[in-house]
Amino acid sequence: MKTTFPVSRSGRFARGPGADVAQFTESISFDRRLWRHDLLGSLAHAAMLRKIGVLTRAEHAAIVKGMNAITREIEAGKFRWRPALEDVHMNLEAELTRRVPAGAKLHTGRSRNDQVALDLRLWLRDEIVALFGETTDLQRALVSLGEKYSDVLIPGYTHLQRAQPVYLAHHLLAYVEMLERDLHRLAGGFVRTNVCPLGSGALAGSTLPLKRELVAKLLGFVDDGGKPQLTQNSMDAVSDRDFAVEFCAAAALLAVHLSRLAEDVILWASAEFNFIRIADAYTTGSSLMPQKKNPDIAELARGKSGRVFGNLMALLTLLKGLPLTYNRDLQEDKERLFDTADTVRATVRIMAAMLRHTAVNRAACAAAAGDPALLATDLADYLVKKGMPFRQAHHAVGAVVALAEKTGKPLNRLTLAELQSVDKAFGRDALGVFDLKRAMAKRNLIGAPGTKEVAKQLARWREQLA
Ligand code: ARG
C-alpha cells in the first residue's frame, strides 16, 4: 500500500492513510475553489502572528512573498493540487512550507476547523454580494420590459382562468417585489455571515494571546460602524453552518420565484397565449420537429429549482444530528452550498438576458385583454354604486353572464333591455363599464393595476434601481 503523510498526521501516526481512504476523505476536488479566501485568511492570520511576535519581520515577509507567488501560480493554472493532502487548507500550507520554512508557524493558534469556517464565510460574503448585483439586474430587466410595453394590457389570472385586466407591467412588477424580498433575506443573511470565527481554534480557542479583533478588521468582518464582528463562542463558531443554511434557504425562495416567472414565460410563449416572442438566440429547436421553438431557458430555470430545494434539505439533514463541535460530516456542506450559489446565480443571469431579448405581441395581448367578461366585476361594482348590496350585485351580474352565454353575445353587446330583464337597477350608462381604458383609470388604490398607479410604481422602481 502506497502511503503519503498529509500535514494533519502528527507524530502519533506510524503510517499515512491508504489510497482508498485518501480518496474517500479528500475534499480538494471541490474545496479548492476556496483557495483565494483561504490565502486571504492566512495573510490576515500571519499579520496578526507578526503583531504578537510569533513571526519575525523576516518570516512574515517571506510568508507573504511565498503566498503571493502561490497566488500567481494558481491564477496561471500552474499550481499542482495534491489529493493526498486532502483539502485546500493543507495543500496551500504544505506548499508554502515547502518553499518557506516559516510556513510551519502559520498554523499557530489555528485549526482547520476555524479555518474552514472562516473560508466559507469569506467566500459566501462575496457570493452574496455578487448574487445581489445579478438579482438587482434581473429586477431592472423586468422593469425595462414593463416600461417598454407600459400601455399593454393582459388578463390577470386566478386558477389560470381569465379574471380581471391588468397592465403587463403590473404582472412583471409582481416579480420585482418578490425579488426585492429575496434581496432583503440575502442581506439579512449577510449580516450573520459577516462574523469572524478565527481564534476559535479546533473548538476551544487558544492559550496564545491572539488578536481576534485585528484579524476581523483586516478581513472586513465589521459592522456598518466599523466595529469588528467576532463569534462569541468557540464551540458554536466551529460547528455553526447556520449562515450557509440561511443562504440556501433564501436562495431556495429565490428559486421558487424564478421558477414561477419561468412558468409564466413558458405559458406566454405558447401558441395558446402568444403574448411574447423570445428571441431565437434564447430559445432552442427540436431535433425532430422542424417548426418548434422551445423556451428551454425558462424550463431549465423552473427545473433547476428542484436541486436548490434539495441542497437546502441536504444541509438541514447534515446538521441535525451532529454533536458539538466539528465533525467531518461538515465537509459535505460545500458542494451543496456551491451548487446552490452557482445554480441561482446562473439562473438569475440568464433570465435577465432572456427578458432583454423578449418582445411582447401587442395584438395578442389586446385581443385577450379585450374580453369583456374580464370586467364583470366592474359591472357588479356599478350596481354597488347604485346602492345594491354586493352579494346581490354579484348574483345579478352572474345572471347577466348566463344570459350573454345563452344568447351567444359578448357581455358588452347585450342591450339595455336585456340587462334590465335581469335587474331594473341597470341604467343607460351600464355598458360604459366595458370601456377598458376607463376601467383601468379607475383602479388606483395603492398596489392596484390602475393606469396612474402602475406608472407610479414603474417610476418608483426605475428610481430605486438606478
Ligand atoms: N476539509 C475539511 C472540511 O471541509 C476541513 C476541516 C477538517 N478538519 C478536521 N478536523 N478534519 O470540513
388: left (phi over 0), alpha (psi -120 to 50) or beta: beta
Ligand 1 centroid–CA 358 distance in Å is: 47
What pLDDT, on the 0 to 100 scale, is given for residue 180?
A: 98
CB 165 within 8 A of CB 375: yes
- Pocket probe for ligand 1: among 37, 92, 112, 235, the residue whose CB has the most ligand atoms within 8 Å is 112
Asked if residue 290 has pLDDT above 90, the reply is: no
In the reported structure, the alpha carbon of residue 326 is separated from the centroid of ligand 1 by a whole-number distance in angstroms of 8
Which is nearest to 179 in space by CA: 307, 347, 306, 358? 347
* Residue 3's pLDDT band (cuts 50, 70, 90): very low
Grid coordinates standing for 51?
A: 503583531
Given a cut of 50, is residue 278 above it in pLDDT? yes
- H or E stretch at 156: strand 153-158
- pLDDT greater than 80 at residue 5: no
How large is the average pLDDT for residues 265-282?
Answer: 96
Cβ(28)–Cβ(11) below 8 Å: no
Do the beta carbons of residue 253 and residue 182 sit within 8 Å? yes
* Catalytic residue numbers, as ranges: 159, 286
Q: Answer whether 122's CB lies under 8 Å from 229's CB.
A: no
Nearest C-alpha to atom 4 of ligand 1 is from which residue?
331
The whole-angstrom separation of Cα 455 and Cα 215 is: 49
Instruction: Name the residue with the closest Cα to ligand 1, atom 7.
Output: 112
| Sign of the CA dihedral with 69 first, then 74, 75, and 78 last | positive
Q: 153 has which bridge partners?
A: 167
Average pLDDT, the chain: 96
Smallest CA separation from ligand 1 atom 11, residue? 328
Best residue among 118, 239, 327, 328 to mutate for probing ligand 1's pocket (most ligand atoms within 8 Å of CB) is 328
Q: Is 150 helix (H, G, I), strand (E, B) or coil?
A: coil
Q: What is the DSSP string of 388-402?
A: --HHHHHHHHHHHHH
Distance, CA of 118 to CA of 326 (rounded, Å): 13
What is the pLDDT averaged over residues 313-321? 98
pLDDT at 1 over 70: no
Write down the pTM of the prediction.
0.94
Which protein residues touch ligand 1 with a CB less than 6 Å away?
A: 27, 31, 87, 112-113, 116, 326, 328, 330-331
Of 381, 374, 382, nearest to 164 (Cα)?
A: 374
Give the pLDDT score at 18: 82
Comparing 417 with 10, the larger pLDDT belongs to 417
CB of 336 within 8 A of CB of 315? yes
Task: Please compute Rg for the chain using Cα positions.
Answer: 31
- The CA 2 to ligand 1 mean position distance, Å, reads 23
